[in-house]
Amino acid sequence: MASWNSTPLELTYEFLGWFAFSCWSISFYPQAFLNYRRKSVVGLNFDFVLLNLTKHSSYLIYNASMYFSKTVQEQYFEEFGYGEMIPVAANDVAFSAHAVFMTAVTLFQILIFDRGTQKISFVAVGIVSVVWLAAAVCFSLALPTRSWLWLLSVFNTIQVCMTVVKYIPQAIMNFRRKSTDGFSITNILLDLSGGIANYGQMVVQSLDQGSWNNFYGNLGKLMLSLVTVFFDTFFITQHFVLYPAKKGYKTVALVEPEDEIKENLVPSAADEPRTAENV
């Protein structure tokens, strides 16, 4: 196994890795706190959360196996050369584990808080079912020959596909509502910072080793960064440019019928008729 050639680059690699871990880990909390404060998950797309759970679960399987399994590491060296470094860092494993936990917490909030008329679509349930069925089939194929590296590449591919797919329902929902109300933009800003740092970490390792096999050996991490940056930039555009929040504005979905009736029946001071006492 290769070692670092430059101490400054090694320290930069560690810094970027844990910075990405911090941004991505913290990014789960604004949405969770927003849900708790509102006691509502209206505005958060449920398909996004379900697909996100599948994405992070598959990514955790890949990262933990690549980082801890000596058998998998041996197969990696046989594939890419013994002079290469394992493309998974401790921060990748820590992030994946934390992401699975926090996504599960958000899914639990969907079960207990006000959902309005929103629900998980049959399409999302179908996608998740097909994905895990395919993973089970691949496991049965890898078991006889102990092709664990190939199996992990399948899980890595799953997480890349889920990364692409998971953002689409939320983007469409924002477009249809012409609003990002209920969807935390702080989450997106932190997610974007983590994606950039994650990509920078891979660049630093490649510069130190003088090889780009780091990218080829972990295409999942590369695509995770690029797709994250693309969609987060799109969400930021939706929030600040296309559908900027108006001061004092409430979406119809978030206004209770009783409150709406009261607003229509109770006149404001400006609407009261001018009487003799007011003249």
**Total-model pTM:** 0.75
pLDDT at 251: 45
8, pLDDT greater than 50: yes
- Asked if the structure places residue 206 within a domain, the reply is yes
Local confidence band at 277 (pLDDT 50, 70, 90 cut-offs) = very low
At 229, which amino acid appears? Answer: V
Residues 185 and 215: their CA atoms lie apart, in Å, by 30
- Asked if the structure places residue 276 within a domain, the reply is no
- Asked if the structure places residue 277 within a domain, the reply is no
Per-residue pLDDT of 103-120, as tens digits, reads: 999 999 999 999 998 899
Sequence-distant (6+) residues with CB within 8 A of 38 are 113, 114, 182, 254
Domain span including residue 102: 7-253
Q: What is the CA radius of gyration of the chain?
A: 23
Per-residue pLDDT of 175-230, as tens digits, reads: 999 998 888 889 899 989 998 998 898 899 888 888 777 676 667 778 878 888 99
166, pLDDT greater than 70: yes
Per-residue pLDDT of 52-96, as tens digits, reads: 999 999 999 999 999 999 999 999 999 888 877 888 888 889 999
pLDDT at 246: 64
- Asked if the structure places residue 62 within a domain, the reply is yes
Q: Which residues pair with 114 in a beta bridge?
A: 40
Phi-psi region of 278 (alpha: psi -120 to 50; beta: other; left: phi over 0): alpha
Residues 143 and 267: their CA atoms lie apart, in Å, by 72
Stretch 153-177: mean pLDDT: 91
pLDDT at 217: 64
Local confidence band at 2 (pLDDT 50, 70, 90 cut-offs) = low
- Asked if the structure places residue 237 within a domain, the reply is yes
138, pLDDT greater than 90: yes
- Asked if the structure places residue 53 within a domain, the reply is yes
**Cβ atoms of 218 and 88 closer than 8 Å:** yes
Tokens of 155: 């899980």
Report the mean per-residue pLDDT for the chain.
85
- Asked if the structure places residue 159 within a domain, the reply is yes
- Asked if the structure places residue 36 within a domain, the reply is yes
Question: How many domains does one find in the chain?
Answer: 1
